[in-house]
A and B are shown apart, each in its own frame.
Chain A
Amino acid sequence: MSGTYLGMPSFPKAAKDAVHNVTLRANLRHATHTIRDKRAKAVAELEDWALLREAGKQIKDHTLRHLDRYLEQLESAVTAAGGTVHWAADAEEANRIVADLVKATGESEVVKVKSMATQEIGLNEALKAEGISAYETDLAELIVQLGDDRPSHILVPAIHRNRAEIRDIFERKMGSWGRPAPDGLSDSPAELAEAARLHLREKFLRAKVGISGANFMVAETGTLVVFESEGNGRMCLTLPETLISVVGIEKVVPGWRDLEVFLQTLPRSSTAERMNPYTSMWTGTADADGPRTFHLVLLDNGRTGTLADEVGRQALRCIRCSACLNVCPVYERAGGHAYGSVYPGPIGAILSPQLRGIQSEIDVSLPYASSLCGACYEVCPVAIDIPEVLLHLREKVVDQGGKGHRLEKTAIKAAGWILDHPAALAAVEKTASGTRGLHPGRPPGAGAWTADRELPELPAQSFRDWWKKNRT
């Protein structure tokens, strides 16, 4: 994944600031609860939701099982339709391919459709290093880009910003990127949207190269599909002469019948809409319309490694709807940035460590960034058992050892011995109860607990003791 997240501190450290940032907490709470409630209503409208969810899961599992076959079918179909397919093993290779393709056009500007894959590989930064300016055209991505910020949500990347902050960013930054914000801009949503529209229109009309991702790729016809709500995507997909799409290999589905399932589940689960506002589909190139040149860059970047893990591979079913983020109590308090990845929230906690490998401080801590409450699994439209994968990744973290876990392992082992010897357990309980007057209010090492909570009072006798005295 993108190098910009290297050296991120562990999740608990990164979350600390967000937890104590009152404005951020309020923004996030309001936003996630609003989407969460709307989604629940939109999903409840469909009597066959459970069946659609199961179908989505099975379609994805089937495709992943035969991924090689479907990718080759896709490649043939895209090629036959006039496109060119490139294979990228990692972020670096993908960035290189895209930069070379843009340079070959002689252009130094590109317009972008919101795309997680290009965020994942840090494409904008890579292009910048080659002297190419990449303009984000999704409203929220624009806010993030102008604010020199990072996305904190998959679907609503600027969810951590409120209207007043957005107005300030537009006023300060739009001018240096293109058309400046209108004078006297207020923070009304209509005025902010209009300012963005004017600013972006200029870019759409000038751009010769568009860059996108895709939500789905249909293997049987070589068709790519983008879901969006603002129409900016359609501009980028139709106006430029050259279109380059960077897509993760797990985004392929066998045929149009499969797409039908996700056309229902994705909008309802993500934006709570019955039907997606702008669904763009294109197959290679056409003479009379749209881009004349089309390149598809198929991205691996850790995906085949993830696919090899029997428990972890279910993360590749993800359709990036964000429902798990919106319902997650940890995400709501920690915010998206703490996850140290373009994939925040519950899906990020299982996807990032798998794609990047469990090595860095942040990736070792992500599997623990959950209370295992299960709300994410409940809402996931492709039934990814996120708690199951978290536990699986925790086992991997423990197995590979590492600094923080040595002490913990010793403690767990000692406790394990006591718990495997009831007589020893009874003795420990007796000693603790008998000397409870002597225990300090906050025993050493309990700081993480006692910063905000009292410890339970030790009882005069254990249940075991009571039973012995009263029932035997």
Chain B
Amino acid sequence: MRVALFVTCVNDALYPATGIATVRLLERLGVVVDFPAAQTCCGQPQFNTGYRRETVPLVRRTARAFEGYEYVVIPSGSCAAMVREHYPKFGETALPARTYELTEFLVDVLGVTDVGAYFPHTVTYHPSCHGLRSLGLGERPRRLLEAVKGLELRELPGAEECCGFGGTFAVKNSDVSAAMGQDKVRGAASTGADVLCGADNSCLMHIGGILRRQDAPQRALHIADILASTEEEPLL
């Protein structure tokens, strides 16, 4: 099976490890991964801030970059939601139907929950809002994590509450955003888990930024980073 990876601009520039982990994970599962170089950003930051006109070229570019691929895999719930939920408003209907958020692709298309990963740590999972409410990822990420060898999953109190990132909301309403993030981090700390895991690096940039500011022992990791980790090549 051949898929196109839409790595997203945030992962490309700031979290390449997540992109690399996604490639390794998919290849380990027998999938051939392509990276169409014409891809950049899905347009979500512009669209969510009210810049519809400025979003149009990015929507067109993305749709063109992934033409011809039966499966487009995105390791980001919010970018996948942007394509799925909002691209039709720009007249792009083909790409949304072929777009899968990573955990969706693994569980629904490949039909796997045990991806052969190894991660001997305690983990708590934060289901970011777009994955939770727009895409309806449901139990998929948790099922994948539960099947990881050595991993102990701990329930996150108030898991469904927003972490407060919200794109430009994080800077436009930075006080409220930080207060939400601090509450999220408090909940995560109460689990005593080593790792706070999510499926969206933009949320994790915000949560992780608070963890680092507080010198907290917990670290934020993308689910792809964990699922790519094996006994031969452990991440931590």
Contact = CB atoms under 8 A, between A and B. Distances in A.
B122 interface: no
B40 A412 contact: no
B173 A12 contact: yes
Nearest to B39: A422
Contacts of A425: 9, 12, 40
A10 to B, nearest CB: 9
Main secondary structure on B side of the interface with A: helix
B14 A459 contact: yes
A454 B213 contact: yes
A431 to B, nearest CB: 11
A391 B57 contact: no
Contact of A15 (B17, B167, B173): B173
B19 A432 contact: no
Contacts, number: 175
Interface string A356-397: 000000000001111111110110000000000001011111
Contact of B57 (A25, A393, A416, A452): A416
Best-buried of A448, A453, A455 by chain B (most CB within 10 Å): A453
Given A429-B13, A464-B37, A12 B172 contact: yes
Given A391-B48, A464-B12, A466-B19, A471 B35 contact: yes
A409 B51 CA distance: 8
Contacts of A440: none
B2 interface: no
Interface in A114-140: none
A419 B55 CA distance: 11
Interface stretch (B98-106, B145-153, B157-165): B157-165
Best-buried of A394, A456, A461 by chain B (most CB within 10 Å): A456
Best-buried of B50, B160, B162 by chain A (most CB within 10 Å): B50
* Interface size bracket, B side: 35 or more
Contacts of B174: 12, 448-449, 451-452
A413 B179 contact: no
Interface in B171-223: 171-182, 205-206, 208-210, 212-213
A462 interface: yes
A345 interface: no
Interface string A413-455: 1001001101001000100100000000000000011011111
Given A449-B170, A455-B209, A422 B38 contact: yes
A15 B170 CA distance: 14
Interface string B47-63: 11111101001100100
A454 B182 contact: no
A233 B160 CA distance: 37
A391 B50 contact: yes
Given A370-B169, A371-B166, A372-B166, A463 B20 contact: yes
Given A12-B174, A395-B50, A463 B12 contact: yes
B181 A419 contact: no
Contacts of B12: 425, 429, 462-464
A420 B48 contact: no
Contacts of B213: 452-454
A60 B205 CA distance: 41
Interface in B31-83: 33, 35, 37-41, 46-52, 54, 57-58, 61
A-B complex: 7 closest residue pairs judged by Cβ atoms: A371-B166, A394-B50, A453-B209, A373-B162, A452-B178, A463-B19, A463-B16
9 contacts: A16-B175, A368-B173, A372-B166, A375-B133, A394-B48, A408-B49, A463-B16, A463-B20, A464-B12
